[in-house]
Amino acid sequence: MPKKKSEKKQKSITKSTKSKGLGDTLEKVFKKTGIDKVAKWVLGEDCGCDDRKEKLNYLFPYYKPECLTEDEFKYLDKYFKEDKKTIHPQTQQKLLKIFNRVFHQNKKMTSCSSCFKTELHNKLHRVYIEYLDE
C-alpha cells in the first residue's frame, strides 16, 4: 500500500541532520513547539536566534575531542608561547592537521585570518589549556 503524502512529509521532517550541539537541539525543539514563530513575531525576523544557536553549539558541543599526542602538544606549546602576529601557510597546515584529527573535522586552508582565529586557533587553544591545567 503506497504511503500518503502526509506520512512521507512527516518522515522527512523527523529525519533531520544530527545536532552539533545544544544550539541545534534547542532550535529543533523551538521549531516543533512553534516557539520560533512566536519569537520572530515578537522580536522580528532578525531575533538573534542564529547567533544564539552558534554560541550554544560552540559552548556545549556534542562531540568529544580526541586527546593530543605528545608531538601535537609540543607543537602547540611552542606555537602558543611564540604569539606570532602572522601565520605562515606551513604553520596553518600543521595546525589544521591537528585540529581535523582532534575534532573529527575536515577543515581546509583559509586566507581569512579572523575565520582561522575563531574556528581553529581558539578551539585548539582551549584544548591546549586543558593540558596545562593537569
> What would the mean pLDDT of 109-132 be, rounded to a whole number?
86
26 and 77, same domain (yes or no): no
Give residue 9's pLDDT. 47
Please report, as a single letter, which amino acid is at residue 105. Answer: Q
Give residue 33's pLDDT. 92
On whether residue 41 sits in a domain, the answer given is yes
On whether residue 108 sits in a domain, the answer given is yes
82 and 129, same domain (yes or no): yes
Q: Which residues have C-beta within 8 Å of that of residue 29, sequence separation ≥ 6?
A: 35
Mean pLDDT rounded to a whole number for the chain: 81
40 and 92, same domain (yes or no): no
Under 8 Å between Cβ of 78 and 119? no
36 and 83, same domain (yes or no): no
What's the CA dihedral at 21, 22, 24, 26 to 10 degrees?
170
Count Cβ atoms within 10 A of the Cβ of residue 37 and give its class: 0-12 exposed, 13-18 middle, 19 or more buried: exposed
| pLDDT range class, residue 4, cuts 50, 70, 90 | low
Look at residue 110 and give its three-state secondary structure.
Answer: coil
Please report, as a single letter, which amino acid is at residue 83. Answer: D
On whether residue 45 sits in a domain, the answer given is yes
Under 8 Å between Cβ of 69 and 76? no
pLDDT at 7 over 70: no
53 and 100, same domain (yes or no): no
Number of domains in the chain: 2
pLDDT at 72 over 90: yes
User: How confident is the model over 8-49, as pLDDT tens digits?
Assistant: 444 444 445 778 888 889 889 988 998 888 888 888 888 788
User: How confident is the model over 93-111, as pLDDT tens digits?
Assistant: 999 999 999 988 888 888 8
85 and 34, same domain (yes or no): no
75 and 54, same domain (yes or no): no
Give residue 93's pLDDT. 93
Look at residue 43 and give its three-state secondary structure.
Answer: helix
Domain that holds residue 100: 70-133
